[in-house]
Amino acid sequence: MSDAHTPQQQVWEELYKRFDPQRPPRQKRWRVERKYSPAREIASELARPMGGDKRFMLLGGLGSGKSTELHRIADQRCADGPVIFVDLVDHFEERINDPAALNRVQPWEVLLIIGLAVVQAGEQAFAHRWSKDLIGRFNEVGRKFEVPDGDGQPSFDAAKLASAVVVLAGGAVAVLAAGPAGVGVAAGLVAVGQAGAAVKWRFKLATPGRSRRSDQDERVQSLLGVVNQLLGELRSDGWKLTLFVDGLDRIDERDRIRALFVESALLGGLACDVVMTGPIALHEGVPEFETKMLTNAPVCDRRDPWSLNPRGLGIALCMEVFRRRSADLPAPLIPDPLLRKLVYYSGGRMREFVCLVRKVAGLAWDRSLDQADEEAVERAIETMREVTEACASTRRHRDLLCELLADPSRLPNDELVDEMLDLCVILPYPNQGEWYLPHPLLLKVKLPKPGS
């Protein structure tokens, strides 16, 4: 922090850092339990020894908090056994340096990254010594997918590439170093592998124009076999591994979503318990997976959607999120009435609430305020309103939103609705079954309360 900044600006700068919309909160003390989240149900089912390998997909709109809930489930699983957590967003941003490539990824490419993550976590986190023959087979299969880069050198080296995968691992495992009892400490998730400038990723993934490979492709089947052999080696140590994969919910192209989750069964063929995040477009179901919907925090009153003082668990939940992240900062940085206003206009989308708080922090920093005022809060809301309204600009959008306001219990029967869910123009909420409303930002000006 610059010495030229006022004490108030230093506080707002710190608050700004703590509300990062691109990263789920890694600090457990910042996480607030969501009573309506399926996380507890998923964790309970994973803990039961019966039923064979279990596969869950946590669905929801962008910014609904799926990554946070995925971390919560993973932390709980650490108490019972080894956990591997693959963050595909971080991997494509930090290792491949091509975030847009995630939207082009094919099922076999996701499978390959998972296999490398298993190699890295097994060796570095769980002290497992891999069979040389198995790693050799992984190299042989991986090289069949190579794209020539001109130097004639093979780029697929499982050991080297594995060290560059963005992966977290932890949990209770049986290891020699644990002593006679043979049980390792149930550690939480920690990053394993290299970091920063030391990482060199030498394998082309999700390149533009690459032809799609079907599940029946011999190379694809060989890759699935090798990855399952890797998982099998860990299971032979007596461990019940749980694999978590985050980031596939960021894919927004309909054809790619269908190719990954509906037309392919690869990810459902992994020989271990699996929990993944997926886009809300899959709300009608995914073969091989049991889907669970994470709705937005209920911050609206379905009987009076325009009310700025609604009842429901969502208001208190979001306010608690703010309090936990700002507990050691001067209070009240945002007075409760203004904080409730931010919560309402966030629509209960955790990422949007975090964005609004960050915008308020920036505006308060500009004027070196002791606490946020109505002007800062209203300007932050107006900025977000303009963005949301741009996603629902046609007469057809308006007609569908009005139809939804008349009956929040059912989605209108229109092909445009899925796109509106993707863009978070329509938001799902929980209460003994899902119900839906237009985003509250649309109720501010575009869809005013009748008679107002």
Which pLDDT score, from 0 to 100, does residue 383 have?
96
Q: Is 396 exposed, middle or buried (0-12, 13-18, 19+ CB in 10 A)?
A: exposed
**Residue 270 shares a structural domain with residue 301:** no
Tell me if 1 is assigned to some domain: no
**Residue 325 shares a structural domain with residue 271:** no
**Residue 362 shares a structural domain with residue 265:** no
Tell me if 449 is assigned to some domain: no
> Could you identify the residue written with the tokens 């009435």?
337
**Residue 350 shares a structural domain with residue 440:** yes
Instruction: Tell me phi and psi for residue 344, to 5 degrees.
Output: -60, -50
Q: How many domains does the chain have?
A: 2
pLDDT interval class at 197 (50, 70, 90): very low
**Residue 327 shares a structural domain with residue 281:** no
**Residue 266 shares a structural domain with residue 130:** yes
Tell me if 375 is assigned to some domain: yes
pLDDT (tens digit per residue) in 198-217: 567 878 888 888 888 999 99
Which pLDDT score, from 0 to 100, does residue 281 have?
83
Which pLDDT score, from 0 to 100, does residue 50 have?
85
pTM of the model: 0.86
Query: By C-alpha distance, which of 190, 426, 396 is closest to 295?
Result: 426
Which pLDDT score, from 0 to 100, does residue 395 have?
95
Whether residue 182 has pLDDT greater than 50: no
Distance CA 35, CA 435 (A): 17
Tell me if 377 is assigned to some domain: yes
pLDDT (tens digit per residue) in 352-381: 999 999 999 999 999 999 999 999 999 999
Distance CA 189, CA 163 (A): 17
**Residue 86 shares a structural domain with residue 231:** yes
Tell me if 451 is assigned to some domain: no
Least confident of 61-70, 219-228, 384-393: 61-70
Whether residue 110 has pLDDT greater than 90: yes
pLDDT interval class at 452 (50, 70, 90): low
167-171/83-87 β-pairing? antiparallel
Which pLDDT score, from 0 to 100, does residue 432 have?
64
**Residue 140 shares a structural domain with residue 273:** yes
Instruction: Tell me phi and psi for residue 94, to 5 degrees.
Output: -95, -30
**Residue 284 shares a structural domain with residue 301:** no
Give 239 or 105, the one with higher predicted confidence: 105
Greatest CA span in the chain, whole angstroms? 75
Which pLDDT score, from 0 to 100, does residue 185 have?
42
Distance CA 330, CA 343 (A): 20
Tell me if 320 is assigned to some domain: yes
**Residue 149 shares a structural domain with residue 277:** yes
pLDDT (tens digit per residue) in 17-33: 999 988 777 677 888 88
Whether residue 55 has pLDDT greater than 80: yes
pLDDT (tens digit per residue) in 302-360: 889 999 887 777 899 999 999 999 999 998 999 999 999 999 999 999 999 999 999 99
Which pLDDT score, from 0 to 100, does residue 171 have?
87
Query: By C-alpha distance, which of 237, 286, 239 is closest to 258?
Result: 286
Tell me if 22 is assigned to some domain: no
Least confident of 55-59, 191-195, 263-267, 421-425: 191-195
Which pLDDT score, from 0 to 100, does residue 225 have?
97
Distance CA 316, CA 92 (A): 35
Task: Examine the fold and report which residue of 226, 260, 293 is the final residue of a domain before the chain moves on.
Answer: 293
Task: Examine the fold and report which residue of 258, 274, 293 is the final residue of a domain before the chain moves on.
Answer: 293
Which pLDDT score, from 0 to 100, does residue 216 have?
93
Give 425 or 173, the one with higher predicted confidence: 425
**Residue 213 shares a structural domain with residue 329:** no
**Residue 288 shares a structural domain with residue 420:** no
Task: Examine the fold and report which residue of 293, 325, 355 is the final residue of a domain before the chain moves on.
Answer: 293
Which pLDDT score, from 0 to 100, does residue 247 have?
93
Whether residue 176 has pLDDT greater than 80: no
pLDDT interval class at 192 (50, 70, 90): confident
Tell me if 450 is assigned to some domain: no
Percent of the chain scoring above 70 in pLDDT:
92
Distance CA 276, CA 67 (A): 9
| Host domain of residue 430 | 7-12+297-444
The beta-carbon contacts of 375-382 under 8 Å, at least 24 apart in sequence, are 377/334, 377/338, 377/341, 377/342, 380/342, 380/356, 381/341, 381/342, 381/345, 381/356, 381/441, 381/444
